[in-house]
Amino acid sequence: MTTVNNRLHAARTKLKKGMVTTMQDTLRAHRLPDDFAARIGWIVRARESVVEARFDPVALPDVLTELAVSDESRQRAVTLQVVQRLGNGIVRCVATSPISSLSPGMTVMSAGREIAMPVSRESFDRVVRLLAASTLAPGTLVPTGIKVVDVMCPLVAGGTLAIAGEWKAGTAVLLEELVRRLSGGTDRISIFTFVPGGGTMTYREMMEREGYSDGTVGAVQTFFFRREEGPWTPESLSTLAGVDVVIRLSQALGQLGIYPTVDPLTSRSRLFESDRESLTRFAADAPAHDVTASRARKLWRFFAQPFFCAEPYTHRPGVAVSVTDALRGCREILDGAHDEVSEQAFYFTGGIAEVLAAAKKTQAP
C-alpha cells in the first residue's frame, strides 16, 4: 500500500510540475505588453464619425495610431484613427469602420501601431465639416510667401486645405513650412494632410527627428490621414471637393529638383482657377528652341523656393515673396520680358529681382 501511495504522490508531483510549466509557457506566449495599462483610454465625446478620447497624457497615442472601441451591444469592434492630438491627454479620432452607437465612457484601446486602413475618400467631405469651422471670411486670400501656392492655389482665410502628399515628395516639409509661416497670423486655417506610407520610420518618429509640430499651433490646426494606396489621379483628387484648396505634391517634380513639389496643374483653389495652359507646354519632348516651352520651364523653376524649415539641408536661407512680386515675376516670364535670361537663373530663388541678380552674377567676368 505504501508503495502505491508513493507512486501516486510522485505522479501527482510530476503532473503538477508539468501543469506549472505549461501555464508559464502559455503566459509567456500571451503576456500583455508592458505598456498595456497606458494603452487604455475612454471616450469623452462622440459626434457622428468623429470621436474624442482621453488617455494618460504621458502615453498619448501618436497621430495615425490605430485605436479600437468594443461595441459590446453589437458584438463588434469599431476601428478609429488618431487625426489630431489635443491638450489634457485628449486625442481626436475618425472612424474607419461603421459607427452608430459609440458614447462617452466606452473603453478605447490603442493598438500601438500606425493604421493601415485609410479613411475612405467618400466620407472625407463629412469629416471636414465636422472637424473644421466654416469659412469666416469668404474670398479673402491668405498670403504664405510661397510663390507657387500664392499664385496657383492660394489659401482662403478661415478655410480648409488638403495636402495630397506622395512618397518622397516633401509632405511633412510643406506642412511644417505652412505652420511656421501662418501660425502667428490671425486668419485661421485647417490643414488636412494625407500622409503616404512606405517609410522606414513612423510618421511620429520622423516628426520628432525633424522637430516638427503635429497639432494646432496658433491660427493653424492640422489633421493627419493615412492616404489610400496608388497615385493621385484627377478622379481621386475630385473626391476632395469638401475643402477650399487642394495642394497636390508630385514625386516627379522632386526628381527634377523642383521644391516645393507643388503640381500647379492639378492643385486648385476655390478663389480662382488660373489659366494653366502655359505650364502644360513643359514636356520632355518639347523642342529646346520653342519659346513658349522655354518660358514654361522658367516658370516651373521660378516656383522652386528655399524653405525656412529646410535650411539645415539646403544651406540656403528661407525666402518669403510677396503676392505682388510673385505675380509680377510670373507675368514677366510669360510675357517674354526675360527671354534672354538663362533658365537656371530662375531656379530656387525669391522674387524676380533676385533672379536678375543671379543672372548678372553668372555673366560677370
Give 338's pLDDT tier (boundaries 50, 70, 90). very high
Model confidence pLDDT, tens digit, residues 138-148: 578 999 999 99
Work out the burial of residue 166: count CB atoms within 10 Å of its CB; fewer than 13 is exposed, 13-18 middle, 19 or more buried.
Answer: buried
The pLDDT score that the predictor gives to residue 176 is 94
Q: Which of 123, 159, 134 is nearest to 48 (CA)?
A: 123
CA angle 345, 252, 170 (to 5 degrees): 85
Question: What does residue 196 show for φ and ψ, rounded to 5 degrees?
Answer: -75, 155
Q: Which of the pair, 227 or 287, is modelled with greater confidence? A: 227
Helix, strand, coil % (nearest 5) of the chain? 35, 20, 45
- List Cβ<8 Å contacts ≥24 apart for 67-72: 67/41, 67/91, 67/93, 67/108, 67/109, 67/110, 67/111, 68/108, 68/109, 68/111, 69/43, 69/102, 69/106, 69/107, 69/108, 69/109, 70/106, 70/107, 70/109, 71/101, 71/102, 71/106
Contact between residue 78 and residue 98 where contact means Cβ atoms under 8 Å apart: yes
The pLDDT score that the predictor gives to residue 160 is 94
Model confidence pLDDT, tens digit, residues 69-118: 987 766 778 899 999 999 889 999 998 877 777 889 999 999 999 998 88
Contacts of 333 by beta carbon, 8 Å cutoff, 6+ apart: 295, 298, 299, 302, 346, 352
pLDDT at 333 over 90: yes
Give 279's pLDDT tier (boundaries 50, 70, 90). low
The pLDDT of 240-258, averaged and rounded, is 93
What's this model's pTM, rounded to 2 decimal places? 0.85
Instruction: Please give the order of strands across the beta sheet that includes 189-195.
Output: 220-226, 189-195, 160-164, 245-248, 268-269
The pLDDT of 133-142, averaged and rounded, is 69
pLDDT at 283 over 70: no
The pLDDT score that the predictor gives to residue 284 is 44
CA angle 194, 297, 265 (to 5 degrees): 35
The pLDDT of 216-243, averaged and rounded, is 87
Q: Is the dihedral of CA 164, 169, 175, 180 positive or negative?
A: negative
Give 25's pLDDT tier (boundaries 50, 70, 90). low
Strands 220-226 and 189-195: what pairing? parallel
Domains, the chain, ranges and CATH?
A: 37-114 (2.40.10.170), 121-274 (no CATH), 280-363 (1.10.1140.10)
The pLDDT score that the predictor gives to residue 365 is 57
pLDDT > 90 in the chain, percent: 52
Give 217's pLDDT tier (boundaries 50, 70, 90). confident
